[in-house]
Amino acid sequence: MAHTSFYPPSGIYSDSYRKDMRIVKTKTQWVLSIVSLIFLFAIPQIPFFNSPYLLRLLIGVGITIIICLGLNVLTGYCGQLNIGQSAFVMVGGFTSGLLNIHLGWPFWMCVIPAGITSAVIGAIFGIPSVRLKGLYLALTTLGAQIILTWIALFYIPLTAAGFSVGPITIGTLVFNTPKKFYYVAMFFTVMMTFFAKNMMRTGPGRAFVAIRDNDIAAEAMGIDIFRYKLLAFMICTFYAGVAGSLLVHYMMWAHLESFTLQDSIWYVVMVIVGGLGSIEGTIFGVIFITALKELIFVIGPMVEGKLPFLPIGAGSGLLLVIIGGVAILFLIFEPRGLAHRWNLVKAYYRLWPFGY
Amino acid sequence: MEKGKNGPILRCENIGLRFGGVNALVDITFEVNKGEVLSIIGPNGAGKTCIINTITGFYHPWKGKVYLEGQEITALPPHKICTLGIARTFQNIELFTGLSVLDNLLAARHIYLKTNLLSNCLYFGFAQKREIDERKIVEDIIDFLEMEAIRKQEVKILPYGQRKRVELGRALALEPKIILLDEPTAGMNLEEKEDMVRFILDINEEKGTTIILVEHDMDIVMDISDRIIVFDFGNKIAEGIPDEIKKDQRVIKAYLGEK
């Protein structure tokens, strides 16, 4: 389930374990994967698709996918709730930005240190997870959000005011427009997704799920719970740090307001809606919620115009109501998220036309 | 080679375990010989599961020591003890419910899976080769326990008897020297019990694994045990071969009460 789509399409049989463990099993699947990858990277060149609005949206989706992949590794696979993810994005963003403007390092040298700094700080906040579970742990991560923001606001004058950051460059090529930056964002999104998927279908992924499902048995099976919980925290915050680095170089501006508690909550909602413990689900969740957000941004003002008795700002307020409602509906009716729907669709396709 | 003549593999010395004012185990001393089937029996609350939890490191005794092949393991955490070659199953099944049968067994291969995170990320070369090697070993166990049909099913949808079997498979995947089975046939029908007993005997004979069995079904215990230890209220009241235990007055008293 969690890692590999075990069942191949009808009529395809694996004759070695190597083949059985593949994700992409048939020629059709290969062709489809490659075509969609090419399409993904060709979007800025296709007319109608390449409007700056859509590209900006897609860049946002890409960066958010990286953040939520990390969160899903920690919350979905390892079962440790984290509601301070955007604080770790902030750590990565500021680290990368400071290295860029003070030491003059280019983005490509900043992105890994940004991820590592974030991971180290994430590990420190992960230490309580040895003793704390569930809501209590969630509170310590909420603490991380508040403490880290507070430090950035009161102890480091530079981060408190915000500062401008240089764009990403390769040689003379400067990625300073959405159309150009799109390639960088998608490159990172695809790479990080690939890494996450592979990690989660091999040893570490199984260890994480083992800890989530039954920590006593996991310990009896030789899994060092403390080490693996910390590892999950570090992977989660490393992803956040890398995404933060991308974000500040994309906006060319690092400021506290980009990393709020509300963002952290959004990420949790996206992961829940997409499906806890599923890499594909993370992508679905981010796309679904982002699309919903945009839809409401369009519909909100229209509703406000039609109904003059509503107070000013009710349209954008609607956003929170609807997203909150969606999260509740998903928890009640589809607690396994969009990923579960996707698996049902795949199973239906596989068994069609004899779905019994 | 006669069973049980190879010297002790596990030794418990004066184990004392307390919860608050309750003495769960009092001065328990016994040895387990290499390759034997040792049963631990006793009425409810006698301390059978306590001794298993003590050996596997989930409880730390206030007194006494546990030795595995001469090495002291008393103060070690469970995951360390596991890597030294002691596997266990649980009285109430404790599986990784979200994983398939295959992944449950693979998760137990964890201690042998020495790959670094970076190669896992890439899934090329070493990591992939290791995964395939582990898969082969796990498939052998699936063969052995006759679970081929359910290997890709999620554990949470399996019936009780099969879950017990998966749990045994998961313990086997650790390739342990000793397996501690906590009531492996509880709640099973006759057929499932016969299967389970057959597996236990096969593991013991083919792989030479030492087995410590906690069980309430006296027919099974008397049939397959090489030796039996009887507990009552945290004390060891008898130890011996099945025929001796059947006749032991203290055991009869503990189970049936006095006239």
| A contacts of B87 (beta carbons < 8 Å) | 220
Q: Distance between CA atoms of A299 and A302, rounded to whole angstroms? A: 5
Sheet harboring B63-68: ordered strands across?
Answer: B22-33, B8-19, B63-68, B71-72
Closest among B112, B106, B110 to A21, alpha carbons compared: B106
Is A1 within a domain? no
Identify the weakest region by mean pLDDT among A98-107, A182-191, A263-272: A98-107
Mutate to test the interface with A, among B52, B103, B138, B158 (most CBs of A within 10 A): B103
Does residue A271 contact residue A68 with C-beta atoms inside 8 Å? Answer: yes
* Band of pLDDT at residue A11, cut at 50, 70 and 90: low
Six token digits for residue B54: 């003590």
For chain A, the residues whose C-beta falls within 8 A of a C-beta of chain B are: 1-3, 6-7, 17-18, 21, 194-195, 198-199, 201-204, 206-207, 209-210, 212-214, 216-225, 231, 277
Q: Distance between CA atoms of B165 and B145, rounded to whole angstroms? A: 7
pLDDT in tens, chain B (259 residues): 455 467 788 888 888 888 888 888 888 888 888 888 999 988 888 888 888 999 988 888 888 888 888 888 888 888 888 888 899 998 888 888 888 888 889 888 888 877 777 777 777 777 788 888 888 888 888 888 888 888 888 888 888 888 888 999 999 988 898 999 988 888 888 888 888 999 999 998 888 889 999 988 888 888 888 889 988 888 888 888 888 888 888 888 887 777 6
Six token digits for residue B208: 């030479």
What type of residue is A53?
Y
- Residue B214 CA: distances (Å) to CA of B38, B39, B79, B108: 9, 6, 22, 22
Which domain CATH number covers A168? 1.10.3470
Q: Distance between CA atoms of A209 and A203, rounded to whole angstroms? A: 10
| Bond prior to B8 in cis (omega within 30° of 0) | no
Helices (H), chain B: 48-55, 78-83, 101-108, 117-122, 126-144, 160-173, 190-206, 218-224, 242-247, 249-256
Question: For chain B, what are the domain ranges?
Answer: 8-85+176-256
Is A10 within a domain? no
Cα-trace Rg, chain A: 21
Question: Does residue A262 surpass a pLDDT of 80?
Answer: yes
For chain A, how many structural domains are there in total? 1
Is A241 within a domain? yes
Mutate to test the interface with A, among B120, B138, B152, B182 (most CBs of A within 10 A): B120
pLDDT of residue A356: 61
**So what's the ipTM on this one?**
0.87
**Helix (H) and strand (E) counts in chain A:** 15, 4
Question: Does residue A332 surpass a pLDDT of 50?
Answer: yes
What does the pLDDT look like over A103-150, one tens digit per residue? Answer: 888 888 888 999 999 999 999 988 888 788 878 888 888 988 999 888
Closest among A239, A208, A268, A264 to A69, alpha carbons compared: A239
The vertex-B152 CA angle with B150 and B154, nearest 5°, equals 85
User: How many CB atoms are closer than 10 A to CB A291?
Assistant: 12
What does the pLDDT look like over A117-127, one tens digit per residue? Answer: 999 999 998 88
Identify the weakest region by mean pLDDT among A212-216, A278-282, B146-150, B171-175: B146-150
Closest among B6, B1, B14 to B236, alpha carbons compared: B14
Helices B190-206, B160-173: axis angle to 10 degrees equals 10
* Residue carrying structure tokens 């034997």: B36
CB within 8 Å: A222 and B77: no
* Band of pLDDT at residue A7, cut at 50, 70 and 90: low
Question: Does residue A5 surpass a pLDDT of 50?
Answer: no
Sheet harboring B86-88: ordered strands across?
Answer: B86-88, B178-182, B210-214, B37-41, B227-232, B235-240
Question: Tell me, what DSSP letter sits at residue B217?
Answer: -
Q: Residue A254 pairs with which residues in a beta bridge?
A: A163
Closest-CA residue of B relative to A217 is B94
Closest-CA residue of B relative to A232 is B117
- Residue A20 CA: distances (Å) to CA of A16, A25, B132, B136, B152: 6, 8, 10, 12, 11
Is A4 within a domain? no
Cα-trace Rg, chain B: 19
pLDDT of residue A3: 39
Show the domain range for A316.
48-351
Closest among A284, A343, A215, A226 to A64, alpha carbons compared: A284
* Residue carrying structure tokens 């002790």: B8
Closest among B75, B60, B84, B83 to B10, alpha carbons compared: B84
In A211-297 the beta strands, taken as DSSP E runs, fall at 253-254
What type of residue is A83?
I
Say how far residue A74 (Cα) sits from the centre of its chain.
11
Distance from CA of A259 to the nearest CA of B (A): 28
CATH T-level topology, domain B8-85+176-256: Rossmann fold (3.40.50)
Question: Does residue A199 surpass a pLDDT of 80?
Answer: yes
* Residue carrying structure tokens 């086997």: B172
Given phi > 0 = left and psi -120 to 50 = alpha, else beta, which region is A7?
beta
Q: Distance between CA atoms of B133 and B231, rounded to whole angstroms? A: 42
Distance from CA of A69 to the nearest CA of B (A): 14
**Pairing of the two strands B8-19 and B22-33:** antiparallel
Question: Tell me, what DSSP letter sits at residue B153?
Answer: S
pLDDT of residue A4: 41
What type of residue is A174?
V
What mean pLDDT is predicted for residues A325-344? 85
What does the pLDDT look like over A18-40, one tens digit per residue? Answer: 777 777 777 788 888 888 888 88
Six token digits for residue A337: 């998220």
- For A155-169, give the secondary structure using H, E and C: CCHHHHHCEECCCEE
Q: What percent of chain A has pLDDT over 90?
A: 23
- 3-class SS at B39? strand
- DSSP assignment string, A44-97: GGSTTTT-HHHHHHHHHHHHHHHHHHHHIIIIIIS----S-HHHHHHHHHHHHH
Q: Distance between CA atoms of A79 and A218, rounded to whole angstroms? A: 13
